[in-house]
Amino acid sequence: MKVAHIYPKYDRNTGDHFVQMGIVRLLREQLGDFEYVPISSRRDAPDPSEPVGITRESLSRIQDCDLLVIGGSNLYEVSDGRWGVVVEDEALDALKTRVLPLGIGSGWAFGVPRLPAMPERVASQVRRLHERSRRGGSVRDLLTARELERHGIGPSTVTGCPAQLLADDPLRPVGEGVVGVAFPPRRMYAAASLSPRRGRSAGHVRRRLVTRFFLGLLKALNEAKLTVRVLVHDAADLPLAERLLGHDFVYDASAPRMLDAIRACDVIVGFRLHAGIAGLSYGIPPIPILLDGRSLGFAETLGLLELSVPLDPDAVVLAMERVRLALGPGRSAWAPVVARRDELGRTMRAFLASAI
């Protein structure tokens, strides 16, 4: 069998590649050996002539396959009136290959805490892709399912993120007490103002809250004499990480090696989404920071809201309470989360078995 997979192939954020690895694992469970044809979801290929998305240039490559999987972390998230896959309506009209949207999420990245409006042209494209699947689409979280339903897109099956299924490990006992802290994206950072009395935008105020929270948490963890491992997901964040931390962080462009760093942690505090999601697959308790719609959707779907940390003036205190809980006898509070992960995994595998 020959399978094309559209995803953020050239993204420098290793989280997107965790999702891709989870999808390939799931497909191999269902299909055994198959020929894999990766296609970038957007026009970011090093070679400008490389076919991307669902376009005239990529159509023949997709039509040569038995199945087209569209699966990437936040592809349903709208920015500047576009979603995460380049689609030409003429190519979509001509598409004959069966389509399978898999584990895709929506939400908002940061700033104003609300879902961006999905333009009708985007909704129409997504709707048509769901209609070409035997079972509709699989979505990452409850928030995404509600968003698609509002636009008449369906059916949608909530299966969780494919990166949750990189492994199926039980809740892991505490090892050396390593606290993983996912480094926040640079778009969430704001330095202290040189004119503190000057009025600032709501976005700047939120970025300052995140910045003070992140730096305050690192200070509190160090004062508690806990071993901390800061995990940088994205190469774009390296200059800021070096400025704030020197070289006291972990980054590797290789997604498998970043997973090795995640596996070395005993709990993960998530200023980014996918360190916690991938860690959960290995039985490591995640503590999501509710900075954006992505984290909120993850926490709601996995039953993690009470174990998460909101963006709050007391966030450092709340985060430290949850870290101590995860490293002590209270670690069992994450057992229902692992059970929910397993339930979503069974749903994902049943969805795939009936859709392929």
Going along the chain from its start, the domains and CATH numbers come out as: 2-165+341-355 (3.40.50), 178-338 (3.40.50.2000)
Q: Is 157 helix (H, G, I), strand (E, B) or coil?
A: strand
CA 9 to chain centre: 14
Task: Put residue 275 in one of left, alpha, beta given phi > 0 → left and psi -120 to 50 → alpha.
Answer: alpha
Mean pLDDT of the chain: 94
Cα(68)–Cα(77) distance, integer angstroms: 20
* DSSP string for residues in 34-82: -EEEEEESSS--SSTTS--SBSHHHHHHHHTSSEEEE--TTTT--BTTB
Q: Which residues contact 110 (CB under 8 A, 6 or more apart)?
A: 185, 187, 188, 206, 291, 292
**Percent of the residues in the chain that have a pLDDT greater than 90, as a whole number:** 87
Cα(14)–Cα(11) distance, integer angstroms: 8
pLDDT digits (tens, 9 = 90+) for 282-340: 999 999 999 988 999 999 999 999 999 999 889 999 999 999 999 999 999 999 999 99
Q: Is 83 helix (H, G, I), strand (E, B) or coil?
A: coil
Residue 113 — very low, low, confident or very high, per pLDDT cuts 50/70/90? low
- Residue 202 pLDDT: 79
Q: Is 181 helix (H, G, I), strand (E, B) or coil?
A: strand
Tell me the residue ranges of DSSP E strands in the chain.
2-7, 35-40, 67-70, 98-101, 137-139, 156-158, 178-182, 227-231, 267-270, 286-290, 309-310
Alpha helices for 224-307 (secondary structure H): 238-245, 255-263, 273-281, 293-302
Q: What pTM, to 2 d.p., does this model score?
A: 0.95
Residue 80 — very low, low, confident or very high, per pLDDT cuts 50/70/90? confident
Q: How many residues does the chain have?
A: 356
- The distance between the two most distant Cα atoms of the chain, rounded to a whole number of Å, is 64
